[in-house]
Amino acid sequence: MTNEVTHRTVETNGIRMHLAEMGTGPLVVLCHGFPELWYSWRHQLRALAEAGFRVVAPDMRGYGQTDRPEAIDQYTLFHMLGDMVGLLDALGTERSVVAGHDWGATVAWHAAQLRPDRFRAVIGLSVPFRARGSARPTTLMPQTDDAIWYQLYFQEPGVAEAEYDRNARVVFHAGKISISGDAPLGTRPFGMVPRQGRPFRWDAPAPPLPAWLTQADVDFYTAEFTRTGFRGGLNWYRNVDRNWGLLAPFHGLKVPVPALYIAGDRDPVLKFPGMDRHIADMAKFVPQLRDALMLPGCGHIIQEERAGEVSAAMIDFLRGLATERAA
């Protein structure tokens, strides 16, 4: 086994996808969320590789060194699933475990739901499996006279980019901390964006970096998103209603493979409208859910905030799969 992460680019589903990989053994694919990169899994790459697994973390469609198609409709959930199936083909592997965080968790859950022949188990971080609802998602997002839900703010092309692209360092310093377990208690709840004026206080003093986030980490994210901009990741949000329509034929379909869910009890995602119902429904829609772990004091950046605990839980789950197959 190589002791270092290696990088290469493969062809999948009509795009060129950059991969970071490490280790040998059964394959585990790690899908990052918004706004992240393969780098978000840097701790798990090494930990899982040392535990005897081949680990691959791509820059997802629209991110980093992977292609960033211009058209918004090239960022549907089905494009992401096609990317993951094509990735397995490019790697010469029939089946894999798939794990994801944030938007990557949504990709991972649906990969396991729709292609269990290719994805034999699933690990979701932060975001639980969410069954298709009865109405278009944007019609259910909260808004007031003064503010709108952040995903509604993301819908208009160019608006969020104009703010995020010129403030990348703030996004990856203060922004990451603000949704982590280290966010000061009593800060403004995450989710709503003012209708008028700047959406965030970009010029606020930068908070001290917590132990899990170094200046080198902030520099890496900042450099990549300064180079690429945020449009690719934002386009994922601009397809939420389109995804809802495309998923209609699969309404009620369960996730039939072994699964693990891990979240932090200070993750603002857990406070999203309707999220408590989705978590409660996991037992119904994910019948092979092995465990739902809640890490106390942890926020949204779970695989970075609690790298050791998350890696250990993933390894225990993966080894358990091997034991089950041998039995």
Q: How far apart are CA 89 and CA 102, in angstroms?
A: 25
Please choose, from the candidates 34, 29, 39, 172, the residue with its C-alpha nearest in 3D space to the C-alpha of residue 102. 34
Q: Is the residue at 164 inside a domain?
A: no
Residues marked as catalytic = 102, 300
Q: Is the residue at 204 inside a domain?
A: no
Q: What is the mean pLDDT of residues 212-235?
A: 98
Contact 121, 257 (CB under 8 A): yes
Contact 323, 132 (CB under 8 A): no
Tally the C-alpha atoms within 13 A of residue 29's C-alpha that lie toward its C-beta. 34
Mean of per-residue pLDDT scores for the chain: 95
Q: Is the residue at 169 inside a domain?
A: no
Lowest-confidence range among 114-128, 225-239, 266-280?
266-280
The whole domain housing 245 covers 6-139+236-326
Position 313 scores a pLDDT of: 98
Strands (E), 134-258: 147-149, 192-194
Q: Is the residue at 84 inside a domain?
A: yes
Q: Is the residue at 193 inside a domain?
A: no
Q: List the CATH number of the domain containing 50.
A: 3.40.50.1820
Q: Fill in the amino acid letter for 317.
A: F
Task: Answer yes or no: is pLDDT of 1 > 50.
Answer: no
Query: How many folded domains does the chain comprise?
Result: 1
Lowest-confidence range among 106-115, 185-194, 207-216?
185-194
Q: What is the mean pLDDT of residues 141-170?
A: 95
Position 327 scores a pLDDT of: 56
Contacts of 129 (CB under 8 A, 6+ apart): 109, 113, 255, 259, 261, 278, 282, 285, 286
Task: Answer yes or no: is pLDDT of 58 > 70.
Answer: yes
Position 2 scores a pLDDT of: 56
Contact 268, 190 (CB under 8 A): yes
Q: What is the mean pLDDT of residues 62-71?
A: 98
Residue 78 binned pLDDT confidence (cut-offs 50, 70, 90) = very high
Q: In this structure, what are the phi and psi dihedrals at residue 227, rounded to the nearest 5 degrees?
A: -75, -45
Q: Which residues pair with 119 in a beta bridge?
A: 96
Question: pLDDT above 90 covers what percent of the chain?
Answer: 90
Position 189 scores a pLDDT of: 58
Tokens, residue 32: 């990052």
Q: Is the residue at 285 inside a domain?
A: yes
Residue 198 binned pLDDT confidence (cut-offs 50, 70, 90) = confident
Contact 48, 26 (CB under 8 A): no
Task: Answer yes or no: is pLDDT of 285 > 80.
Answer: yes
Position 187 scores a pLDDT of: 59
Q: Is the residue at 181 inside a domain?
A: no
Q: What is the mean pLDDT of residues 175-200?
A: 81
Q: Is the residue at 286 inside a domain?
A: yes
Q: How far apart are CA 265 and CA 323, in angstroms?
A: 30
